[in-house]
A = this chain, B = another copy of it.
Amino acid sequence: MIERVRPEVDAGRFPAKRVLGEACVVSADIFKDGHDQLAARVRYRCPGEGEWAYVAMPYDPDADRWAGAFLLDRIGEWRFTVEAWTDVFGTWRSGLEKKVAAGQDVAVELLEGAAIIERAARACKDRSARGSLTQAAAALGDANTAVAARTTVALDPALHALVTQHPARDDLTEYSRQLLITVDPIRAAFAAWYEMFPRSQSGDPKRHGTFADAERQLPRIAQLGFDVVYLPPIHPIGTTFRKGKNNTLNPLPNDVGSPWAIGGEEGGHTAVHPHLGSLVDFERFVKRANDLGLEVALDYALQTSPDHPWVREHPDWFKIRPDGTIQYAENPPKKYQDIYPLNFWTDDREALWNACLEVFRFWMARGVRTFRVDNPHTKPFAFWEWVIADIKRTDPDIVFLSEAFTRPKKLLYLAKLGFSQSYTYFTWKNTTYEIRDWMREFTDPDVLEYYRGNLFANTPDILHEYLQRGGRPAFRIRLLLAATLSPLYGIYSGFELYENVPVREGSEEYLNSEKYELRPRDFTTPGNLDAEIRRINRVRRENPALQRADNLTFLRSENDQILFYRKSMPDQSNDLFIAVNLDPLRAHESMVHMPLEELGIAGDAVYPVTDLLTGAQFRWRGARNYVRLDPSQEPAHVLRLERGGPA
Nearest Cβ in chain B — how far from A9, in angstroms?
11
Q: Once the chains bind, are A378 and B34 in contact (CB under 8 Å)? A: yes
Q: Once the chains bind, are B33 and A333 in contact (CB under 8 Å)? A: no
Chain A stretch 354-394: residues in CB contact (< 8 A) with chain B = 377-381
Q: Once the chains bind, are B112 and A31 in contact (CB under 8 Å)? A: no
Number of identical protomers: 2
Interface assignment of A571: CB less than 8 Å from any CB of chain B: no
Interface assignment of A331: CB less than 8 Å from any CB of chain B: yes
Residues of B within 8 A of A330 (CB): 95
Residues of B within 8 A of A333 (CB): 98-99, 101-102, 104
Chain A stretch 216-262: residues in CB contact (< 8 A) with chain B = none
Q: Once the chains bind, are B111 and A323 in contact (CB under 8 Å)? A: yes
Q: A33-B381, A409-B31 are in contact. Are A321 and B1 (CB under 8 A)?
A: no
Q: Once the chains bind, are B409 and A98 in contact (CB under 8 Å)? A: no
Residues of B within 8 A of A409 (CB): 3, 29, 31, 64
Chain A stretch 6-28: residues in CB contact (< 8 A) with chain B = 10-11, 13
Nearest Cβ in chain B — how far from A88, in angstroms?
13
Interface assignment of A48: CB less than 8 Å from any CB of chain B: no
Chain A stretch 95-139: residues in CB contact (< 8 A) with chain B = 95-96, 98-99, 101-102, 104, 107-108, 111-112, 115
Q: Once the chains bind, are A322 and B111 in contact (CB under 8 Å)? A: yes
Q: A333-B98, A381-B1 are in contact. Are A321 and B29 (CB under 8 A)?
A: no
Residues of B within 8 A of A112 (CB): 321-322
Interface assignment of A410: CB less than 8 Å from any CB of chain B: yes
Interface assignment of A35: CB less than 8 Å from any CB of chain B: yes
Q: Once the chains bind, are A410 and B33 in contact (CB under 8 Å)? A: yes
Residues of B within 8 A of A332 (CB): 94-96, 98-99, 102
Interface assignment of A413: CB less than 8 Å from any CB of chain B: yes
Nearest Cβ in chain B — how far from A241, in angstroms?
16
Nearest Cβ in chain B — how far from A111, in angstroms?
4
Nearest Cβ in chain B — how far from A303, in angstroms?
13
Q: Once the chains bind, are B108 and A35 in contact (CB under 8 Å)? A: no
A330 to B482, CA, bound (A): 61
Q: Once the chains bind, are B378 and A35 in contact (CB under 8 Å)? A: yes
Q: Once the chains bind, are A1 and B378 in contact (CB under 8 Å)? A: no
Q: A11-B11, A101-B333 are in contact. Are A31 and B323 (CB under 8 A)?
A: no
Q: Once the chains bind, are A33 and B322 in contact (CB under 8 Å)? A: no
Residues of B within 8 A of A11 (CB): 11
Interface assignment of A504: CB less than 8 Å from any CB of chain B: no
Nearest Cβ in chain B — how far from A320, in angstroms?
11
Closest to A110 in B: B322
Nearest Cβ in chain B — how far from A293, in angstroms?
36
Nearest Cβ in chain B — how far from A5, in angstroms?
11
Q: Once the chains bind, are A108 and B321 in contact (CB under 8 Å)? A: yes
A104 to B337, CA, bound (A): 14
Interface assignment of A407: CB less than 8 Å from any CB of chain B: yes
A373 to B108, CA, bound (A): 32
Q: A99-B332, A333-B102 are in contact. Are A323 and B3 (CB under 8 A)?
A: no
Closest to A341 in B: B34
Q: A31-B410, A381-B1 are in contact. Are A323 and B95 (CB under 8 A)?
A: no
Q: Once the chains bind, are B407 and A64 in contact (CB under 8 Å)? A: yes
Interface centre among A11, A94, A99 (most CB of B within 10 A): A11
Q: Once the chains bind, are B10 and A380 in contact (CB under 8 Å)? A: no
Q: Once the chains bind, are A33 and B380 in contact (CB under 8 Å)? A: yes
Nearest Cβ in chain B — how far from A418, in angstroms?
14
Nearest Cβ in chain B — how far from A318, in angstroms?
15
Q: Once the chains bind, are B380 and A108 in contact (CB under 8 Å)? A: no
Nearest Cβ in chain B — how far from A556, in angstroms?
19
Q: Once the chains bind, are A33 and B377 in contact (CB under 8 Å)? A: yes
Q: Once the chains bind, are B407 and A322 in contact (CB under 8 Å)? A: no
Nearest Cβ in chain B — how far from A114, in angstroms?
8
A407 to B409, CA, bound (A): 35
Closest to A322 in B: B111
A457 to B111, CA, bound (A): 45
Closest to A319 in B: B112
A410 to B33, CA, bound (A): 8
Q: Once the chains bind, are A323 and B108 in contact (CB under 8 Å)? A: yes
A98 to B332, CA, bound (A): 6
Q: Once the chains bind, are B35 and A331 in contact (CB under 8 Å)? A: yes
Q: A3-B10, A332-B95 are in contact. Are A322 and B115 (CB under 8 A)?
A: yes
Residues of B within 8 A of A99 (CB): 332-333
Residues of B within 8 A of A115 (CB): 322
Interface centre among A33, A95, A321 (most CB of B within 10 A): A33
Q: Once the chains bind, are B33 and A379 in contact (CB under 8 Å)? A: yes
Q: A332-B95, A409-B29 are in contact. Are A34 and B377 (CB under 8 A)?
A: yes
A108 to B10, CA, bound (A): 43
Residues of B within 8 A of A95 (CB): 330, 332
Nearest Cβ in chain B — how far from A400, in angstroms?
16
Residues of B within 8 A of A10 (CB): 3
Please name 19 further chain A to chain B contacts, defined as beta carbons within 8 Å, in addition to the given A35-B331, A99-B333, A112-B322, sorted by A numbering.
Answer: A1-B381, A3-B10, A3-B409, A3-B413, A29-B409, A33-B378, A34-B378, A95-B330, A95-B332, A98-B332, A99-B332, A101-B333, A102-B332, A102-B333, A108-B321, A108-B323, A111-B323, A112-B321, A115-B322
Instruction: Pull 20 A–B residue pairs with CB atoms less than 8 Å apart, ordered by A.
Output: A3-B409, A3-B413, A13-B176, A31-B407, A33-B377, A34-B377, A34-B378, A34-B379, A64-B408, A95-B330, A95-B332, A98-B332, A101-B333, A102-B332, A102-B333, A104-B333, A108-B322, A108-B325, A111-B321, A112-B321
A-B CB proximity, top 3 nearest: A102-B333, A111-B322, A11-B11
